[in-house]
Structure 1
Amino acid sequence: MFPSPASDLFFHNFDVHQAILNLLSSEDALSLCTVVPILRFKAPHFVHRAISNKRVKKGIATKNVELICSSLNSSDITSLNATRLFRARIPFMTFINTLKPNQKVTMLCLDGNTIAAGGARAIAELLEVNSTIKYLELRANGIEPEAAAFLAEGLVRTKTLSFLDLTTNFLGPQGVASLSQALCLNTSIRSLVLSDVCMGADGAQALAQPLRQSKTLRVLKIRDNRIGPDGAIALARALETNSHLEVLDLQRNGIMNEGAVAIANALEVNQTLKNLNLRNNRLGWISAEAFGQTLKVNSTLRVLGLDDNMIKDQGVSILADGLRLNTALQKLDLNTSRMSSVGAMSLLSALDSNQTLRRLDLTGNSDIQRDIVPSVDRHSARVEIFLDRNLTAD
C-alpha cells in the first residue's frame, strides 16, 4: 500500500512553501484543501493543521495543477499521492504530462480519479518515456476493458515499473486478458495486484499464461474475483512450471475443494512459492487432506492461510500429520476453521516433532476449550500461538 496521508512529498525551499500557503489563503472554489492528498511535507507543520479537517469536494483547478507541477520539477520529490484529486480531464493530463520528463518520482498513487480510457492512454505514454516510476497505484478508477488495453501497451513498453495495483476496477475477463498478454512481454513487473476486478474464471485462465512464462513476477494478489474451481485449476497448472512466484493471494474466490486440491498438488512440484493465502474459499476437510500431503514433501512454503473455511477437526487432524514432517512452514493460519479442542490438540501434538513453525493462529474457533492451555504454554517459548481471549484470560 502507498504510504499513508501525511508526508509523501518533501519540499526543501521557502518559495514552494510560500506558494502553497498562498494557495491555501486564496478563494479558489476548491478551498485548496486538495494540497493535502497530493502533497506531504516535513514542514511547515502548521499547514497540516490548517487543512487536515477539510474534504475535497471538487477536482483541483488547472491553474493549481500547473503551480504544483512547476514546483515539482524543481524539487527532490520522489513520492506523489494524488488520491481522488482530479475530476476533470485537463488537470489530469497536465499533471501526467509534467511527469514525463521527471527523473526523480519513483512512487505514484492515482487512486480514485476515474481516469477512463483517455487517462489510461496518457499513463501508458508516461510509462513509455519515464524511466524512474517503479510503483503505481490505480485503485478504484473505474477502469474498463478499453482503458485496460491502453495500460497494457504501457506495460509492454516500460522497463522500470515493478509494482502495479489495479484493485477495484471493472477490468473483466477481457481487460485481464489484455494485461496478461502484456505481462508475457514485460520484464520489470515484480508485484501485481488485481483484486476485485471482475476477473472470473476466464480472467484467471488468461492470467495463467504469463504466470507460466514470467521470470520476474514475484507477487500476485487477486482477491475477490470469483475465479471458482476452474480459475484455480488453471493457476495451479501454471504453478507446476513457474519457478519465480513467491506470494499468491487468492482470498475470497470460491475455489472450493476442487480448486484447492489442484493448488496443493501443484505445490508438491513447485519449489518457489513461499506465501499462499486461501482464506474464505469454501474449503472443507478434503482441501486440508491435500495440503497435509503437500506439507510432507514441500520444502519452500513459509506461510499458509486456510482461515475462515470449514476444515473442522477432521481436516485439521490430517493437516497436523503433514505438519509433523514439514521442515519449512513458519506461519499457519486456521482462524475460524470450525475446529474444537480435538483439532487444536492434534496441531499442538504435531509441534512436538515440527521444529520450524513460529506462528499458529487458532482464534475464532469457539469450540476450543481451556483444556488445551497447558499444551499451548508448553510450546509458547518457540511458537507464537493465538487463542481467543476467553481462553487466555486469568
Structure 2
Amino acid sequence: MLEDDDDEDDADLFSRLSEGSQERLPESDDERLPCSGSDIDPDIGIDIDNPDGYDTDLDIDGEEQFDPTGLKTYIKECNRLGTLPASFFQRHIQDRSFIMRNHGLGPLGAKAISKPLESNTHIERLDLEGNSIEADGAIHISRVLRENLYVNHLVLSENKLGTRGAQAVCEMLHDNHTISNLDLSGNDLKDTDGEHFYNLLTNNSTLNTLHLKHNKFEVDAARWLKEALTQNENLKILDLSWNHLRMRGAQYIADMVMENYGLKYLNLSMNGMGEEGARAIGHALSHNQCLQELNISANRITMEGALQISRGLLVNEVLETLRIGTNPIGTEGSYHVIAAVDKNSNSCIQVLDLTNIIVSQDFEDLVDKMHDEDKRSLKVVHGGVLFRTKNLTLPEQDPEIAFLRDPMTKLKRYAESKHLRLIDLFNQLDRDNSWTVDYQEFYQGIRSTGIDMSDEDIAKLVNRLDADGNGDIDYRELLDEDHAHRVMKRELLENKEAESKKEAEHVGE
C-alpha cells in the first residue's frame, strides 16, 4: 500500500534501517482563551507569572527570570500581537513531543508560538502540520530555531510554505545542527526550489530524514538533489513520492543512487517514471551498495521496465525491501523480478511488494521453492494468482464487490450525492482553471472532498484517467473513463440478470 510507509514512525524506521533490520498522531479543535488580567490561567491552573510555582521572594527586581517552558513569554507575546492565546499550546508546552496539527494557527499564531521557543527546553519534536502558517510563519519559526539546541524533529507539512518558507527553513538548517528529521511535504514547493535543498544538504551534516512528498519537483529539483546527495552521505531517509519527476527526473535520481553511499530508504512512488526511468533505476541498483528499501510503486512501469529492474536485482547484494506494486508489469514482468531474486544467491531481498499485480502459477511455484528448498526468508505481497490449483485456495473476487470498491465508483457516488454533473466535478478538482488536473491537484481535490479513497485507490484512478501518460488529466480523459465505467456496470447487470434466469430455469425443472 502506498500509505504503509506513512504509518511508520520515522525514528523507529531510521533505527531499523541503521541496524540493517529485516522489517521495516489528531487533537481536538483549538479552544482559545482571551488574555486575562488574572495571574492564573483559568484553563490550565498555572500562574503565568510563575509557571513553575516557585517562591519568588528572592527574585531580583528588574531582572528577567528564566522561563524554561516559555509560557509566560507566550502570554506576553499574544498580548503584544493582539491575538488570543491557544489553550492547547499552553496545556502542552511542556510536552517533549509537541503535536499541534490542524489548529488554524496561521502566520500570526506561528509568530506568537515562536517567541517562547527561544527559551523552551522541553520540546524535542515540533509538529505543526496543517496550520496554514505560510511563508511568514515559517520565517518566524526558523528564526528562533536557528540556535535552538532541543528540537530535533520538525514537521511543517501541509502549511502552504511555498518558495520563501522553504528557503527560510533550509537557511536555518545551515546553522542548526540539532534537527535531524524534517518534513516539508505538501507545501507547493516548485521545481526551482530544489536549489534551496542543495544548499541545505551541502551545508548540513546532521539531517538524516527528509520528507518532500506531495510537492511539484520535476527535472531541475531532481538534478539539484542528485548533485547534493553525491556529496552528502548523512541523509538516510528520503521521501519524494507524489512529485512530478517523470522519466528525466528519475534518471537524475538514479544517477544519485548509483553514486551515493549513505541513503538507506528512498520513496519514489507516484512519479510517472515509466520504462526509461525504470531502466535508469535498474542500472543504479546494479551499482548501489547501501540502499536497503526502495519504493517505485505506481510509476507506469511496464513489463520491459520490470525486466530492467530485474537486471539490477541479479547483482544487488544490499536491497532488503522492494515495493513495485500498482504498475502494469503483468505476470511476465513479475516473474522476471522474482526469478532475478532467486538467481542471485547473495540477494538480501526479504520483502517484495507487488500490490495489485496479478502473478502466474509459475511465480507462486518459484516462491514456494525459495521457501521450502532454499530456506529463503521472503515475504511476497501480490494481487492474486492467475490460475488456481488444488493447492491454492484463494477465493475468486465477487465482480459486484469489485465494482463497488472501484475508485471510479466511489468518485461517481460522491458526485451523485452532491448532485454534481461530471463537468462540475472536474471544475471542483481543477483549482487553477487550466482545464487539466495534475497529480497533485487531483490528490488534494479528492482529499478535500472526504471521499473514502486510500492513496493506493487514488494512484490507481490517476493511472487509469491519464490515458496518454503526460502527467495531466483533461476532461476528455475523465469522460472516457466514465464511459468505460458505464460499460462495466451494464455488463455486470447483464451477467447478474443472466445468472438469475438460469437459476429460475433450474428451479422450474
Quickly name the TM-score band, shorter chain normalised: 0.7 to 0.9
Give the match's secondary structure for 2:196. Answer: helix
1:60 offset after TM fit, Å? 4.0
Aligned to 1:131: 121
Deviations 1:56-86 (A, max 9, x none): 5x734458964326299679xx9xxxxxxxx
Q: Of the candidates 58, 68, 84, which is equivalent to residue 90 of structure 1?
A: 84
Aligned to 2:155: 165
Aligned to 1:350: 340
Give the match's secondary structure for 2:259. Answer: coil
Q: Of the candidates 346, 364, 373, which is equivalent to residue 373 of structure 1?
A: 364
Alpha-carbon distance change, 373 to 390 in structure 1, aligned in 2, over 3 angstroms: closer
Give the aligned residue type for 1:59: E
Give the aligned residue type for 1:384: K
Q: Of the candidates 251, 254, 272, which is equivalent to residue 262 of structure 2?
A: 272
1:142 offset after TM fit, Å? 1.0
1:241 offset after TM fit, Å? 0.5
Aligned to 1:70: 46
Give the match's secondary structure for 1:91. Answer: coil
Correspondences of 1:247-258 after superposition (within 5 Å): 247-258=237-248
Give the match's secondary structure for 2:366. Answer: helix
Return 5+ residue gaps in structure 1 as ranges: 5-36, 39-54, 79-87
Deviations 1:230-268 (A, max 9, x none): 112111111111120000000110111111111111122
Is residue 308 from structure 1 mapped to residue 298 from structure 2 by the alignment? yes
Aligned to 2:405: none
Given that 1:213 and 1:242 are in contact with CA atoms closer than 8 Å, whether structure 2 keeps it comes out as no
Deviations 1:297-329 (A, max 9, x none): 211100000000111111111111111111110
Structure 2: how far apart are the matches of 1:122 and 1:234?
Answer: 34
Structure 1: how far apart are the matches of 2:340 and 2:45?
Answer: 60
Given that 2:33 and 2:85 are in contact with CA atoms closer than 8 Å, whether structure 1 keeps it comes out as yes
354-363 vs 299-308, which deviates more? 354-363
Alpha-carbon distance change, 338 to 71 in structure 1, aligned in 2, over 3 angstroms: farther
Give the match's secondary structure for 1:177. Answer: helix
Structure 2: how far apart are the matches of 1:66 and 1:273?
Answer: 49
Identical columns (%): 27
Is residue 382 from structure 1 mapped to residue 377 from structure 2 by the alignment? yes
135-144 vs 117-126, which deviates more? 117-126
Given that 1:174 and 1:203 are in contact with CA atoms closer than 8 Å, whether structure 2 keeps it comes out as no
Given that 1:97 and 1:126 are in contact with CA atoms closer than 8 Å, whether structure 2 keeps it comes out as no
Given that 2:274 and 2:300 are in contact with CA atoms closer than 8 Å, whether structure 1 keeps it comes out as yes
Structure 2: how far apart are the matches of 1:249 and 1:350?
Answer: 26
Given that 1:239 and 1:266 are in contact with CA atoms closer than 8 Å, whether structure 2 keeps it comes out as yes
118-127 vs 286-295, which deviates more? 118-127
Structure 1: how far apart are the matches of 2:208 and 2:8?
Answer: 21
Rg larger in 1 or in 2?
2
Given that 2:114 and 2:144 are in contact with CA atoms closer than 8 Å, whether structure 1 keeps it comes out as yes
Correspondences of 1:1-394 after superposition (within 5 Å): 56=29, 59-62=31-34, 66-68=42-44, 70=46, 89-92=83-86, 105-352=95-342, 353=344, 354-366=346-358, 368-380=359-371, 381-389=376-384, 393-394=393-394
Structure 2: how far apart are the matches of 1:95 and 1:345?
Answer: 53
Give the match's secondary structure for 2:84. Answer: helix
Given that 2:41 and 2:47 are in contact with CA atoms closer than 8 Å, whether structure 1 keeps it comes out as no
Structure 1: how far apart are the matches of 2:8 and 2:213?
Answer: 21
Deviations 1:286-307 (A, max 9, x none): 1111121211221110000000
Give the match's secondary structure for 1:203. Answer: helix
Give the aligned residue type for 2:31: G
Given that 2:301 and 2:329 are in contact with CA atoms closer than 8 Å, whether structure 1 keeps it comes out as yes
Give the match's secondary structure for 2:46. Answer: helix
1:369 offset after TM fit, Å? 3.1
Give the aligned residue type for 1:113: H
Given that 1:149 and 1:175 are in contact with CA atoms closer than 8 Å, whether structure 2 keeps it comes out as yes
Structure 2: how far apart are the matches of 1:136 and 1:183?
Answer: 15
Matched positions, count: 330
Give the TM-score normalised by the residue count of structure 1.
0.77
Structure 2: how far apart are the matches of 1:393 and 1:183?
Answer: 55
Give the match's secondary structure for 1:89. Answer: coil
Deviations 1:33-61 (A, max 9, x none): xxxx76xxxxxxxxxxxxxxxx75x7344
Give the TM-score normalised by the residue count of structure 2.
0.60
Structure 2: how far apart are the matches of 1:138 and 1:285?
Answer: 38
Given that 1:253 and 1:281 are in contact with CA atoms closer than 8 Å, whether structure 2 keeps it comes out as yes
Given that 1:96 and 1:122 are in contact with CA atoms closer than 8 Å, whether structure 2 keeps it comes out as no
Structure 2: how far apart are the matches of 1:346 and 1:69?
Answer: 65
Given that 1:123 and 1:154 are in contact with CA atoms closer than 8 Å, whether structure 2 keeps it comes out as no
Given that 1:96 and 1:126 are in contact with CA atoms closer than 8 Å, whether structure 2 keeps it comes out as no
Give the aligned residue type for 1:239: L
Structure 2: how far apart are the matches of 1:215 and 1:127?
Answer: 23
Structure 2: how far apart are the matches of 1:378 and 1:71?
Answer: 69
Aligned to 1:81: none
Alpha-carbon distance change, 372 to 3 in structure 1, aligned in 2, over 3 angstroms: closer
Deviations 1:324-354 (A, max 9, x none): 1111100000001111121111111112214
Structure 2: how far apart are the matches of 1:201 and 1:250?
Answer: 12
Give the match's secondary structure for 2:143. Answer: helix
Structure 2: how far apart are the matches of 1:330 and 1:122?
Answer: 45
Give the aligned residue type for 2:262: T
